[in-house]
Structure formats: C-alpha cells, structure tokens
Amino acid sequence: MGILGKTILIVDDTPANLRLLSQMLEEQGYGVRAVTSGARALKSIATDPPDLVLLDIRMPEMDGYTVCEQLKSQPSTREIPVVFISALGETEDKVRAFAVGGVDYVTKPFHVEEVVARVRTHLKIRQLQQELQAANRQLERQMEELNTRNKTLQEALTTIKTLKGLIPLCAWCGRKIRNEEGNWVQMEAYITEHSEAEFSHTICPECKAALD
C-alpha cells in the first residue's frame, strides 16, 4: 500500500493514461490529482504542492522538460520528486530528463507494478530526506541554545571572578582580607579565589635591601 496521506500529481495529455495511472495509484491509497497540460500542472503545484509528480514529456505548448525545469528553479517546489513517464526511449531523452532534475524515468508502455514500486520508493526517499532535514534543524536549534547558555555562563563566571567593591584589608599587617564569611584570610588566597590571576614570587628592591 502507499504511504498514508501522500498526494501525487499526474501530468499527461492522454486521458486514457491519466485514468489508468489515477486508478492504480488510488487503489494503493494515494491521493491523486490529474491534469492534461504543463501550464495546468504548474498552476496546480503552486496552489497545492504534491508529494510527487508523474510527468509526461511530449505535451503541446509546454513539454515535460520545461515543466520540470520550472519546478526546480523555485525554492518552494525544487524538492518535489519528479518521475518522468514517456514513450521516448532513447538514451539522450533519459539523460536530459535527469539533467533537468528528474529522479526517475519510466518508459511507455509501462507496467503497473513498476510504476507503483518506483512511486513508493521515491516517496519513501523524500520522506526520509524530510525527516533528516527536520532533525538537522532541531540540532541547529539545540546548538544555538547551548551556545547561548554557554555564553551566559561564561559571562557569569567572568563576573564572579572579578573583584568588585570595597575590600576589607587589615590595617595593621596589610596582608590579610576579611572574606564573605567574616574570616580573615591571606590576601593571596583571597585574590586567587575571586579572580583568574596567578601569582609568581620574587623580592622587591626594598625588601632585598632590608635583607642585605
């Protein structure tokens, strides 16, 4: 059976082909729309994009190649899979069909089982592509949220590590500071805890002179 809820647009200027294709795809559970010209196909797709297009090549006024090229030129329709069904069986016809953006090519007279199998395959591929795209978008959103949180956290850490306000320094020894708990700690320990500074030790000229 077909993939539930999927719609297929059939484009063929031969009413008998439209009836046969429509009947066999509806029996598989697909929603089916049928039009007899390229212009009507483009109008139908613009109004309500289908999940897949079965497209004849030889049609009056606008052939299937042109229809496919126009679909692939628009961001809103370029991802719709197009399967060509044509009596043209030459290699160059098939090559051109793929060159303009077709995903598959079925030669008339077609076999019902073959068309159904190819339709099912390309609808499944498209569904998997959409699921992957949705997962990628979700991952991108999560990464953006994570980056925002990391930035906020980094800013908070920077604020925490910055010494601000009055520092209660011992007026007698000048080497101890009263911390937030009210305890007197060595200045070096206090600064290390409240900043990202690192200490190196040497002797200033005055102390060196005193030692000498």
- Of 102, 36, 30, the closest CA to residue 71 belongs to 102
**Beta strand pairing call for 176-178 and 184-186:** antiparallel
CB count, 10 Å around CB of 108? 15
Q: 4 falls in which pLDDT band (50, 70, 90)?
A: low
CATH topology of domain 7-135: Rossmann fold (3.40.50)
7: β partners? 31
- Of 104, 122, 100, 95, the closest CA to residue 25 belongs to 122
Question: What's residue 155's pLDDT?
Answer: 76
Q: What is the mean pLDDT of the chain?
A: 87
Question: What's residue 78's pLDDT?
Answer: 93
Question: What's residue 212's pLDDT?
Answer: 66
Question: What's residue 85's pLDDT?
Answer: 92
Question: What's the pTM?
Answer: 0.67
- Rounded CA gap, 120 and 28, in Å? 10
In this predicted model, what pLDDT tens digit does every residue of 74-133 receive, in sequence order? 999 999 999 999 988 889 999 999 999 999 999 988 888 899 999 999 999 999 999 999
Angle at 105 between CA 67 and CA 76, to 5 degrees: 40
In this predicted model, what pLDDT tens digit does every residue of 162-174 receive, in sequence order? 666 667 777 777 7
Q: Where exactly are the structural domains of the chain?
A: 7-135, 164-211
Residue 146 tokens read as 């994570």
Query: Do 24 and 36 contact (CB within 8 A), yes or no?
Result: no
Residue 2 has pLDDT above 60, yes or no: no
- State percent of the chain over pLDDT 70: 91
In this predicted model, what pLDDT tens digit does every residue of 122-141 receive, in sequence order? 999 999 999 999 999 999 99
Q: 160 falls in which pLDDT band (50, 70, 90)?
A: low
Helix (H, G, I), strand (E, B) or coil at 71: helix
In this predicted model, what pLDDT tens digit does every residue of 187-206 receive, in sequence order? 778 777 777 767 677 777 77
Greatest mean pLDDT among 30-34, 145-149, 182-186 = 30-34
Question: What's residue 185's pLDDT?
Answer: 86
